[in-house]
A and B are shown apart, each in its own frame.
Chain A
Amino acid sequence: MTAVADVREERAPSRDRGERAVRRARWARGVRLTLLAVFVVVFLIPVYVLLVTSFKPLTEADPSRAWALPEVWTFRPWQVAWEKLAPGIWNSVLLAVPGSLISAILGSMNGYVLSKWRFPGADVVFTLFLFGMFIPYQGVMIPLVQLLSKLNEVTGLNGVFYGGIPGLVLAHVVYGIPICTLIFRNYYVTIPEEVIEAARVDGAGMLRTYRSVVLPVSGPAFAVVIIWQFTALWNDFLFAVFLTGPRSWPTTVMLNNIAGAQTVPYSQQMAAALLASIPTMVVYVLLGRFFMRGLMAGALKG
């Protein structure tokens, strides 16, 4: 009898506690949502400024109207920015499209061998590749400039290796080998060993196995690597500023020249910055999932 009473006494406050917990959980969720929304606003401030300023006519450049919407919307800054930036954008396309494709092909072959067709010492090779992922490119820049200008001299192709797009593609492909290999290797590791073994038993050689077994399932890894490299190549400034000349300047260098000149109005600078970011933003919006996976691979599987 007393035991039942005890239970009843305990249950009442616990239900009360349950309600309180529910109320507290609801309140906590409200606070969390509010904070997240505040951060959304903070994160989007630069986007607001870029957009609003890029549509402002010169007459509205006064500091007092800095944060206001344009009274008259104009496309003029975009037109001027496009005229100034177009050669750079074309150079960037010539750089980023072949560069990311070559990187993906190399990365796929390396990743395949290092995970499924291993040779003695493969682990050491992989470790040495990994360190290559983290080196600051400043550490190789001066020798690289010297080597590429030497290549210009030796081949007689002036402005191709040093001061040209091919040299820049070469640099990006070579220094992209580690990360691309890593992404493909980690992807191929998940292919069951028996599948490869079965192909081997059927007498398929290395290339045959690669073509008929591995390549057909590589789609997602190719997407990740191509997006990663495309973004990296499109956004790169360091290699470009050291290795290219006025005729081969990609978008970032041209944008920096436009923005660095004191005479160019803010509206044109910001329109140019937006123009320069459109390709990578489109990729991000359409294929964000693959972009994320590349980022996570960069974290060495955390």
Chain B
Amino acid sequence: MTRMRRWLPGLLLVAPSIAAVAVFVYGMLGWNFRLAMTDQHDEVTEGKFVGLENFTGIWDQQRWSLSVNHAIVFTVVFVGGALLLGWLLAFLMEKGLRGEGTFRAIYLFPMAISFVATGVVWRWLMNSGTGERAVGLNRLFDFFGLEFLQWQWFRDQDWGMAAMAIPAIWQMSGYVMALFLAGFRGVPEELREAARVDGCTEWKVYRHIVLPMLRPVTLSALIILGHISLKAFDLIVAVSGKQIITDVPAVFMWVAVFDSHDPAKGATIAAYIVIAVSVFVIPYLVWSLRKERRS
């Protein structure tokens, strides 16, 4: 009884938050899955339970497979690009240099701006006009005599989504840099010094001491970038709107809800996005909680 008096007030204080998360996160995820398993394809009828019909049926729609392909290309280019660029920036700054704070602030500032605002300028930069009508980067290529680099950017049939990843890389690689920089700085200097005394070259020190210790940071960055990428929405809407040429599941879902007025279809797409993210995130959370408990 006295023990309960000890912890009960705490539970009461957190209770509203627990209830809110229970209802708004878990309840609504469940509600969404439930809706995805009905045939409520307009906003007035009561849906009947149809099992996984929507989940299989959606693959017959060309737009769905297209948007999944787009999301995969976008994710690969964005995650790979941001990891590489972020790592490179951290690697260049790792040893410390004058004005480091300024460099860091410049690489990180895009994080503070909305994708919608940056989308405005990237749409201009990645304008598909060529020759006389070229603006943006195509015009810049022209100026430097690099006309062969001019292309359709996000309007390109095959690699448009790779272009769409460029603004995302620009926006997020500063964050990756900050993560890696913290990782680099976490490697004890004595460890490196010991390896050097043992006759290791700088490259070998990097390869065998530093790189293995960066693995947890790399995994964190991978998960964060991956889950941002799978739900990408703002940037794509801001750069190209609802065009099919850059469609991804998150935009397709928006169209399903507001233009097609089909709640069951929207819920099905949303459920697929949740599943895709969970596949990444749940093992990661389990792994990092276990690690925390061990230490």
Contact = CB atoms under 8 A, between A and B. Distances in A.
- Do A and B bind? yes
Interface residues of A, number: 92
A164 interface: no
A69 interface: no
Interface size class of B (residues with CB under 8 A): 35 or more
A3 interface: no
Interface in B238-256: 238, 241, 249-250, 253-254
Contact of B114 (A46, A235, A270): A235
B255 to A, nearest CB: 12
Interface in B28-53: 28-29, 31-32, 35
A296 B32 contact: no
A78 B240 CA distance: 24
A291 B108 CA distance: 10
- Name the prevailing secondary structure of the A interface residues: helix
Given A139-B273, A277-B114, A109 B21 contact: no
A288 interface: yes
A127 B26 CA distance: 13
Contacts of A143: 27-28, 31-32, 35
A49 interface: yes
A206 B135 contact: no
Interface in B86-102: 89, 92-93, 95, 97
Q: For the complex of A and B, list the 10 residue pairs with the smallest distance between their C-beta atoms, beginning with the closest.
A: A235-B114, A117-B10, A139-B274, A140-B28, A284-B112, A119-B7, A136-B231, A143-B31, A273-B120, A113-B10
21 contacts: A40-B106, A43-B106, A49-B121, A50-B121, A63-B134, A63-B135, A106-B17, A109-B13, A119-B8, A119-B14, A130-B289, A134-B285, A136-B231, A140-B29, A177-B17, A205-B9, A252-B114, A270-B121, A280-B113, A281-B113, A288-B108
Interface of B: 7-11, 13-14, 16-18, 20-21, 24-29, 31-32, 35, 89, 92-93, 95, 97, 103, 105-125, 129, 132-136, 139-140, 143, 170, 174-175, 178-179, 182-183, 216-217, 220-221, 224, 227, 230-231, 233-234, 237-238, 241, 249-250, 253-254, 257, 263, 266-267, 269-271, 273-274, 277, 281-282, 285, 288-289, 292
